[in-house]
Amino acid sequence: MSPSDRIVFDEVSKFYGEVLGVNRVSLAIPPGITSLVGPNGSGKSTLMNLMCGLLQPTVGRIRVLGVAPGDPEQLGRAVGYCSQHDAFPPGLTGLGFVEAFLLAAGFRRDEARRRAWQAIERVGLAEAAKRKVAAYSKGMRQRIKLAQAIAHEPRVLVLDEPLNGLDPMARAEVIALFRDWAGGGRSLIISSHILHEVDMLSDQVVLMNQGYVIAEGDIRGVRGEVTQPMQVMLRCAEPGKLAARLVQLDHVVEVQLHEDGGGLHLRTRDADGFYALLGRIVVEEGLAIETVTPLDDDVHAVYEYLIGGDGDAG
């Protein structure tokens, strides 16, 4: 994959006076869905605003599909942006809002109207398109912002907390839209604090804390970078027998039997090694395993390990 397919941060730092925004960020984000995860003030929005040219780096270089964020003519064609701020130019209808953006971009009136309708239908807001945005619910406003961001068919979509305020049905529709969008080799960058959705959605995650990128990559890969033991839950008929074998393994640091006698929890420093040996143990001991569930392969657990929070990335 060439740098013109990626969003590249090269040793980028951003300071607001004395205050750190992000520090020495180097990333090459490939096409697909990438989630930025981190607590308040971690630098997620700063990173998004930097790649959209809304902020300028104090030092370092950014290229979005090979385009410098300081070139709004090219960048605006390539990127669609949906801010977390629920604000709109006053007095516009949903259709007018999307259409105004397309007209300002330079589309002819008929083409702008066609594209605006197309985008609004795509986010399921056609019936409310001619109502004033001011009268929209929170979820409708999220969707009209999304329509505006995708209306010109950008190759990169940057969405700051895009699932906020959506009801479960709309959430499912929007997530489906994201998948469809990113499926065509395009890039979707989202920040979200709803971690199980990030987990379901993302091809890769960027974990941030206090202005630093502390881990990046696909979730399993990021988990692999963590030195803390990984948790696995097993449900089986004779957990005591299995536990006796498991505690003999060097990399297994803890085994806890379930109170109901139907399974166990273990913590291991070498998950791959554990999975490789498990099959042999099962055969040798003649055990019947019902389920094997890795408990740490979701972004929530990774987040908890790396940042030490409770998983609410807020």
Partner 1 sequence: MLAESEVTLASPGWRLRARQLTAIVRIELRQRLTGLRILPALLLALAPVGLLMLAGILIRINLAPGDTPSVAEAVKVFAEVYHTLVLRFCVFFGCAAIFLMLFRGDVMSRSLHYWFMSPVRREVLVLAKFLAGLATAGLLFTGTTVLGWLAIYIPAGFDQLGPHMLHGPGLRLLATYVGITWLACLGYGAVFLAVGQLFRNPILPTAFVLAWEGIHPFLPPLLKKLSVTHYLGSLGPVPVEVPLISLVAEPAPVPVAVGGLLLFSLAVLGLAAWRIRRMEIDYGSD
Binding site for partner 1 (CB under 8 A): 16, 38, 40-46, 49, 52-56, 70, 72-81, 83, 85, 87-91, 100-101, 103-108, 111, 148, 152-155, 184-185
Smallest separation, CB 203 to partner 1 (Å): 18
Smallest separation, CB 265 to partner 1 (Å): 35
Residue closer to partner 1 by CB (options 108, 196) is 108
- Helices 109-122, 94-105: inter-axial angle, 10-degree rounding: 130
Smallest separation, CB 193 to partner 1 (Å): 11
Smallest separation, CB 186 to partner 1 (Å): 8
The three-state DSSP-derived secondary structure of 247-269 is CCCCCEEEEEECCCCCEEEEEEC
Give the residue among 302, 49, 133, 135 at the shortest CA–CA distance from 146: 133
Residue closer to partner 1 by CB (options 101, 274) is 101
Residue closer to partner 1 by CB (options 102, 236) is 102
Smallest separation, CB 221 to partner 1 (Å): 25
DSSP three-state, residue 297: coil
Rounded Cα distance between 118 and 105, Å, is 17
Rounded Cα distance between 292 and 290, Å, is 7
Rounded Cα distance between 292 and 270, Å, is 15
Rounded Cα distance between 114 and 96, Å, is 12
Residue closer to partner 1 by CB (options 103, 277) is 103
Residue closer to partner 1 by CB (options 57, 229) is 57
